[in-house]
Chains A and B, each alone.
Chain A
Amino acid sequence: MGWFTAALLVIAAACLTLAAIHVHVWLRERSVTANGAFALLAASVAALAFIELQMVRASDPVTFGRWLWWYHLPVWTGLVAAVFFVRLHLGAGRAWLGWTAIGLRSVALVINFLSSPNINYRELTGLEHVSVLGESLAWGQGTTNPLLAIAQLALVALVAYVADAATTAWRRGQRRRALTVGASMVIFVSAAFGSAVLSYWGFARLPVLASLFFLPIVLVMGFELSLDLIRSVRLAVELDAKTIALQGSERKLAFAAEAARAGLWSVDRVTGRLWATPQALSMFGLAADREHHVDEVLAPVHPDDRERVREFIGGSHGDPRGVTLEYRVTLPSGETRWYGVRGAAHDEPRGAPTLMGATIDITERKRAEEEMARQRLELEHLSRVATLSELSGALAHELNQPLAIIMSNAEAAQLLLDRRDPDLAEVRAILRDIIDADERAGQVIRRLRGMLKRGAPQRQPLALNDIVHGVVQFVGADLVRRGITLDVQLEPGLKEVLADRVPIEQVLINVIGNACDAMSGNADGDRALTITTLADGAEACVRIEDVGSGLPANPEQVFAAFYTTKPEGLGMGLAISRSIVAAHGGRLDARPNRPRGAVFTICLPLAPEGA
């Protein structure tokens, strides 16, 4: 065996090995089609080398022609593989050029299979021997078939296709790939094409050994793919590191969730499949051993809250900071607990849109809040009772007055009726007045009862002017008794506020009472109280002005609990008043009056239009 034979065998073996490796890669991971194409190309080159070896060692023209007939099959597969490899590896190239190359070669292949001896020769007349590397190589002699031009044009199309694809890739910035793949293919395919043209069209006497030219191409491509392999190994290492880091952060998250007693969960918004931590599953009352649908979470939810929870799950969650919800669940034991949940939508580019969130048990907080609200109401009520007791003198007057009217009228009527000729018209007038007075007493009692009742808060749209008017009536007698002159200016057409009548009346009574107390040291005839209502943007306000002893240097001090200037005062009135107004979303402020005294302003938000 000579050097040449040995070289061809080595080429064939090397190419087969490469083909085997890349077929293996491709079989394992079908997505890397470039490796598949490369394997096909390498296998084709191996076949070319093997067939070329048979051709140069042919003993007669018939055998040579027969091998050359077979030779076109690996050439075709090699060309197809090359076209696909370039397409897949560079991601460029005009498809029609590639298809032209494949099409021309396919036509050539068909013609070849229909021809005898092959597409290269119309007839083979004999064999010529050429000496290469000390070895005598046989090569056919005969009439060249003009149809061979079709097969060779396919190579021209291939070169054009590769050159075009490489140019595009180069422009895109994939310069190394463009250069290695593009240049090697253009150069070596052109060389193969050149040698074939020279040999078959009688310009030179030499065997056409394509495998020699294709070997560098295979090697360059193999090198290219090995770079991919190196990259994927590096990626795998990075991925491992990231996986470890991810596991670490997952552990931290789980620890944090455990410490916060938070249940973490995520829902596939397409399928409704629920993933949840054990804590979350136990909170939802779900078993840990099987998969769950998000709707199962709804079962233990309190019926009054179910619709809101359903909306939460199905909601758009446009806010990236997440949406929160508080709801009640009924445990199997019958106990009701409060859960707080925060969820946010994640629409990742790959994968289904999910809703992720955390649920915590907020029962203790809720109970504390409820207890606080209850205590606040209780305090309000107590303060109201205290205010009323301060007003008892005025209230007695308010009740006495109608009673006195009723009494005197009734007795007058009795006397009139005892007469022989009673004036019935007068008696009727008296009865009408008695009814009016009775109604007036009834109003006082109703108002008193309202103030003494500890009712649940009832917000409703109320006319502030009406509230002020009612309170002024209520405390009017007390003001008279204390020698206070009152000036009330109600702004006409004031819009309604959203308020709970009784506590707001309480605030007004309290502030008015303080204003009166502040003026108790003033000289007689110098106790002027001014009450004004006014609109202020989205609020309606009541301003209560006095000319009394005024405020401390820091007016905010008067709102502190236990602040009082009265020996018997508890110092809770204004603190409670401010908390009542704040609970209405309003504000209660104090500032000095000019030249003396204080101005208290109570502002309440207007009721929504049409409410």
Chain B
Amino acid sequence: MTDPGKVFLVDDEPELRQALARLLKAEGFDVEGFGSAPEFLARVTEDTSGCLLLDLAMPGLDGLELQERVAATGAKLGIVFLTGHGDIPTSVRAVRAGALDFLTKPVRRDDLLRAVQAALVHARAQHAAAAAGADLRRRHAQLTPREREVFTHVIAGKLNKVIAADLGTTEQTVKVHRARVMEKLAVDSVADLVRVAQQLGVKPAP
């Protein structure tokens, strides 16, 4: 991996923060440490991307709330929780808070590495998905109102002549609109069109 990625390390205990930072830095990651969740939230922006390594047992922190606030910023983060006790309530809380993984202290290097890498992959995917979504929305915006109408009918699985009847036009016209939609949205099949519609949140026509 050419770009190992960024790790945000949030732990109230300086000694542990330093030890983890040392280890991650030795592994080649770019590490940034924070003493508390608010400290981190003050730093985070929409462009922030990476792995958030978070100690669950910190004063004044609720995992779920933090997750929501991170999401609200639009940052692309894979969250990994660190916990002192691997009991079930804690794990459930961590997963509910949107954790990709949770690690029990003391954590082995391999486990830490795997979790951090997975989180980074997740973050990148989020990033890529976000980028792809933006492209798709741009393309969708290029459709004419008639083409959008045809789009909703096509993904409903209707035949061209049915669509023509519904819209009060000719089958030929529908065919042209359909080809233009597929072209503008850069898809080759109806199946792809349905997937794109889902991504865009376009509902099929009734």
Binding site for B on A (CB under 8 A): 393, 396-397, 400-401, 403-409, 411-412, 415-416, 426, 430, 433, 436-437, 477, 480-481, 485, 524-525
Q: How far is the CB of A22 from chain B (nearest CB, A)?
A: 110
Whole-angstrom distance between the alpha carbons of A437 and B22 in the complex? 15
Selecting from B36-44, B101-109, B117-125, B183-191, the interface stretch reads B101-109
- Which residues in A have their C-beta under 8 angstroms from that of B18? 433
Q: Verify if B59 is at the interface (C-beta below 8 Å from A).
A: yes
Q: Are B23 and A408 in contact (CB under 8 A)?
A: yes
How far, in angstroms, from A396 to B22 measured CA to CA in the complex? 24
Structural contact, B109 and A411, CB atoms closer than 8 A: yes
- Asked if A404 contacts B22 (CB within 8 A), the reply is no
CA A485 to CA B105, docked complex, whole Å: 24
Interface residues of B (CB under 8 A from A): 13, 15-16, 18-20, 22-23, 25-27, 57-60, 62, 82, 84-85, 87, 105-109, 112
- Compute how far the CA of A415 lies from the CA of B25 in the bound complex, rounded to whole angstroms: 10
B residues near A408, Cβ cutoff 8 Å: 16, 19-20, 22-23, 106-107, 109, 112
A-B residue pair count with CB separations less than 8 angstroms = 77
- Asked whether, in the complex, the Cβ of A437 is within 8 Å of the Cβ of B58, the reply is no
Please name 6 further chain A to chain B contacts, defined as beta carbons within 8 Å, in addition to the given A405-B13, A405-B19, A406-B106, sorted by A numbering.
A393-B87, A400-B106, A404-B82, A406-B19, A408-B20, A477-B84
Cβ-neighbour of B57 out of A406, A416, A480, A524 (below 8 A):
A480
14 A-B interface contacts by CB (under 8 A): A396-B84, A400-B85, A400-B106, A404-B16, A405-B13, A405-B106, A406-B106, A407-B19, A407-B106, A408-B107, A408-B112, A411-B23, A480-B59, A485-B60
| B107 and A401 within 8 A (CB) | no
Residues of chain B with a CB closer than 8 A to A524's CB: 62
B84's closest neighbor in chain A, by CB? A397
Q: How far is the CA of A393 from the CA of B84 in the complex (A)?
A: 9
Give chain A residues whose Cβ lies under 8 Å from the Cβ of B15.
Answer: 405, 433, 436-437
B13 touches A401 (CB 8 A): yes
A412 touches B23 (CB 8 A): yes
A411 to B60, CA, bound (A): 30
Which residues of chain B are near A437, meaning CB under 8 Å? Answer: 15
CB-CB < 8 A to B87: which residues of A? Answer: 393
Given A396-B84, A401-B84: A407 in contact with B107 (beta carbons within 8 A) = yes
Q: How far apart sit A477 and B105, CA to CA, in the bound complex (Å)? A: 14
Partner of A415 from B26, B105, B108 at Cβ < 8 Å: B26
* Closest B residue by C-beta to A477: B57
Task: Determine whether the beta carbon of A415 is less than 8 Å from that of B57.
Answer: no
Report yes or no: B105 in contact with A404, Cβ–Cβ below 8 A.
Answer: yes
User: Which residues of A have CB within 8 Å of B108?
Assistant: 407, 411
A411 vs chain B, min Cβ distance (A): 4
In the bound assembly, the distance between CA atoms of A407 and B23 in angstroms comes to: 10
A412, B106: Cβ atoms closer than 8 Å: no
Given A477-B57, A480-B59, residue A433 in contact with residue B19 (CB < 8 A): yes
Residue of B nearest to A434 (CB): B19
Pair B58/A480 contact, Cβ less than 8 Å:
yes
Interface centre among B19, B59, B112 (most CB of A within 10 A): B19
CB contacts (< 8 Å) of A405 on chain B: these are: 13, 15-16, 19, 106
Report A-chain residues with C-beta under 8 Å of the C-beta of B13: 401, 405
Q: How far is the CA of A396 from the CA of B87 in the complex (A)?
A: 12
Top 10 A-B pairs, shortest CB-CB distance: A415-B26, A408-B19, A412-B22, A404-B106, A404-B105, A407-B106, A397-B84, A412-B23, A409-B19, A411-B109
Closest residue of B by beta carbon distance from A398: B84
The residue in chain A whose Cβ has the minimal distance to the Cβ of B56 is: A481
Residues on A with C-beta less than 8 A from B112 are: 408
With both chains docked as a complex, state the minimum distance between the C-beta of A524 and any C-beta of chain B, in angstroms: 7
Residues of A contacting B60 in the complex (Cβ-Cβ under 8 angstroms): 485, 525
A409 touches B22 (CB 8 A): yes
- Bound Cα distance from A578 to B58, whole angstroms: 33
In the bound complex, how far is the Cα of B27 from the Cα of A58, in angstroms?
161
